Structure 1
């Protein structure tokens, strides 16, 4: 799994227990999934269709650095399915895993549209 994003846990990210609020982490994950999909499908018009069961395993506290990793599971006709892991860079513990995040490619009419992609592409390969 490739870890693309790091987030610094700040006071505004904490819950009443003084640990990272799960909803904040899920917002970061949804944003990362969207950015990853936009880059892979080369289309900024995408939406989150589905996020499977979320398995919280540990937490993070103020000052910790959280890494978010995404890996493509499969390409559908108009979708991309990924799995995700968030880990605490300071403690080296996995914070959570998500087995399936489905993002859908939209056409100009706002409806699901085929994207024609079948494998992960890296930007550096598109530039050659």
Structure 2
């Protein structure tokens, strides 16, 4: 799994229990998944279709640094399926895991469109072509 994004937990990210608010973390995950899918599908009109069960395994507190990992599970005709793990950067303790996130690429008409992708690609490899 590639961990692309790090977040520093600040006071405005906390819930009344003084730990990371789950809604804030899910917002960050959704954004990270969207960016990852947009790059993979090469389509800026990519949206979240489905997020499977979310497993909150531990928490983070003010001052912690977390990192968000996204990986490709597979490709559909119009979609990409991802998995996600968030962990504490310093301790490597897993904070949350999500087995399946499905992102769908849309056409200009707002309907799902075929992308023709079958494997994960890296931008550096596209630029080399």
Which whole-Å CA distance do the structure 1 matches of 2:42 and 2:74 have between them? 17
- Give the RMSD, CA atoms, in angstroms: 0.6
Q: Secondary structure at the match of 1:81?
A: strand
Q: Secondary structure at the match of 2:59?
A: coil
1:1-128 to structure 2, matched below 5 A, reads 1-128=1-128
Which whole-Å CA distance do the structure 2 matches of 1:40 and 1:67 have between them? 20
Which whole-Å CA distance do the structure 2 matches of 1:42 and 1:75 have between them? 13
After TM superposition, give the deviation of residue 112 of structure 1 in Å: 0.3
Q: Secondary structure at the match of 1:125?
A: helix
Gapped runs of 5+ residues in structure 2? Answer: none
TM-score (normalised: structure 1) = 0.98
Gapped runs of 5+ residues in structure 1? Answer: none
Give 4+ residue runs of structure 1 displaced > 2 Å after superposition. none
TM-score (normalised: structure 2) = 0.98
Further displaced range: 28-37 or 88-97: 88-97
After TM superposition, give the deviation of residue 18 of structure 1 in Å: 0.3
Q: Secondary structure at the match of 1:127?
A: helix
Which whole-Å CA distance do the structure 2 matches of 1:43 and 1:92 have between them? 32
